[in-house]
Structure 1
Amino acid sequence: MNHQVIISLEGLHFSYSTLSPPVLKDLSLEIPAGAVTAILGPNGSGKTTLLFILLGMLSPQKGEILIDGVDQKGLPRSERSRLMGLVPEDEHVPFDFSILEYVLLGRAPHLGLLELPKERDYQVAMEALDRAGLTALADRSIPSLSGGERQLAKVARALAQSPRVLLFDEPTAHLDLNNKGRVLDMIRSMADDGVAVVMTTHDPNAATVVADHVVLLRAGQTVATGPVDAVLNSENLSQTYGLSVEVTSVRGRPVVLPW
């Protein structure tokens, strides 16, 4: 299936200082709407840095980022905040929010300065809670949640934002099998609804479950990019992770085994 490209990256080069080695080197990538793009690579390969660049939190020293064909530099911050959402791997919540209050924070880009959420915002937040299976916990406090419930709450907050592009940083890290499956199901569902989903992960098998496209990074450079079946093979994964990797098949789906 062909998907419309929403974000194009061309020749990105990024370093945190002039004295440090580059984190990303001559990186080019297309991110389509209505699909899941999984970015895989070892620690330090530039995965999270790439997400921050997409969000506009970091600026590359070289290269171009186009969103719907328009240079990202010309995109107002308010418009970018409505366009893109982030589900971070780790997040400190400084206040004792209820889950509903926390999910309502996702509506902030759609509100004016000091404007309170309206009935429509509450409706969107409750719909997001329902999709996450958290409706019965709406009045529970965020600190009282398990790790899996907190991750689902983060996804619900991002859903309430109604973004066209949703970025996930290690969405299944530290989750048990049940909650991992629930999060991956939500990611797949959002892409099926037309959202451009980008997820970083250390787990190739998570990518085989939900991804349409895969990008393999090593030391800030692309090892391979393309459809899951074409990219996730023993040669590419062994080169990416620097160890022998076997790829087998279970029920027609690739399964990655390190050796």
Structure 2
Amino acid sequence: MKLEINNLNCGYAGKNIVRDISFAMETGEILCILGPNGVGKTTLFKTILGFLPRQQGEVLLDGTDVGSWPRKKLAKMMAYVPQAHNMPFPFSVMDVVVMGRTAHLDTLASPGKKDYKIAEETIESLEMGYLKDSSYTEISGGERQMVLIARALAQQPKILVMDEPTSNLDFGNQTRVLNQINKLKERDIGIIMTSHFPDHAFLCSSKVVLMQKGKIYHIGDSKDTVTEENLRKTYGIEVKITSVKNTAGHEVKTCVAMIN
């Protein structure tokens, strides 16, 4: 499946925040959007998902504009993982994940055996089976983030939209979440994610979008887009890019901020 964003303008109450955004991606790809705070990354996501009305432009899935689609139909194709989510009640992890099946249920219907089976299989596929009976409110931040990913995957979407999936996580949990994101593209799911860390683009993205002042500054693969010059223009700081070898002996690029 192909997602195309054409000349999209986004904003709130008539105020334009994001302008003339265009890019395309297919299932099996990971697209990482980088940019400083306030450039409109979350606003862009909410517009793509239909949470905010468009001011201009198109959101196409396999050439069809989704603007007139019912919410449930769109939810079967695209799922959302927010930056953070606080449950008001102590639901179990299994109950939170099975909530992702809502798009597939009739109005007022309760999840059935099939829905719980899909939720359990999703939990197991993310190596989280030990958590399924735990209370969502009592697990760690990294575990909660994985539960939100599981809930989104239980929708069985073709496109997964992830808004800063590693925000507020420690270094170890960031790495674990990124490893799982890399595995997801092997399921032929398209992933759009934002991050504040350029290294994440090297670690897991197929394409990178750099945003600045509500517009796309550069788009392309990570090695051509995440450069010292582009990062300096995007974030206003000096950056050096170097390479290290991972445990498999492969070179991995990393960014180092130059602090005086």
Normalised TM-score (structure 2): 0.93
Counterpart of 1:45, as a letter, is: V
Shift of 1:33: 1.2
Residue number among 7, 11, 19 corresponding to 2:7 in the alignment: 11
**DSSP-derived class of the 2:134 partner:** coil
- Asked if the contact 2:158/2:189 (under 8 Å) is kept, the reply is yes
- Asked if the contact 1:65/1:72 (under 8 Å) is kept, the reply is yes
- Say which is worse superposed, 112-121 or 220-229, in terms of deviation: 112-121
Shift of 1:178: 2.4
| Distance of 1:100 and 1:8 partners within structure 2 | 33
| Distance of 1:31 and 1:59 partners within structure 2 | 22
The aligned counterpart of 2:209 is 215
| Distance of 2:12 and 2:111 partners within structure 1 | 38
Which ranges of 4 or more aligned residues in structure 1 deviate by more than 4 Å?
Answer: none
Counterpart of 1:221, as a letter, is: K
Deviation readout 1:199-258 (Å, 9 max, x if unpaired): 011011112111110000011111110111111111111111111121112222221112
Gaps of 5+ in 2: 246-250
Shift of 1:66: 1.3
Equivalences for residues 1-259 of structure 1 within 5 A: 6-18=2-14, 20=15, 22-251=16-245, 252-259=251-258
| Distance of 2:52 and 2:88 partners within structure 1 | 24
| Distance of 1:151 and 1:15 partners within structure 2 | 27
Shift of 1:31: 2.1
**Count of aligned pairs between the two proteins:** 253
| Distance of 1:173 and 1:180 partners within structure 2 | 8
- Asked if the contact 1:132/1:153 (under 8 Å) is kept, the reply is no
- Say which is worse superposed, 128-137 or 212-221, in terms of deviation: 128-137
- Asked if the contact 1:167/1:199 (under 8 Å) is kept, the reply is yes
- Asked if the contact 1:84/1:163 (under 8 Å) is kept, the reply is yes
- Asked if the contact 1:205/1:255 (under 8 Å) is kept, the reply is yes
Deviation readout 1:91-111 (Å, 9 max, x if unpaired): 121222011111100111111
| Distance of 2:95 and 2:28 partners within structure 1 | 29
Normalised TM-score (structure 1): 0.93
**Identity among equivalent pairs (%):** 37
Shift of 1:176: 2.0
| Distance of 1:116 and 1:10 partners within structure 2 | 38
CA RMSD of aligned residues (A): 1.3
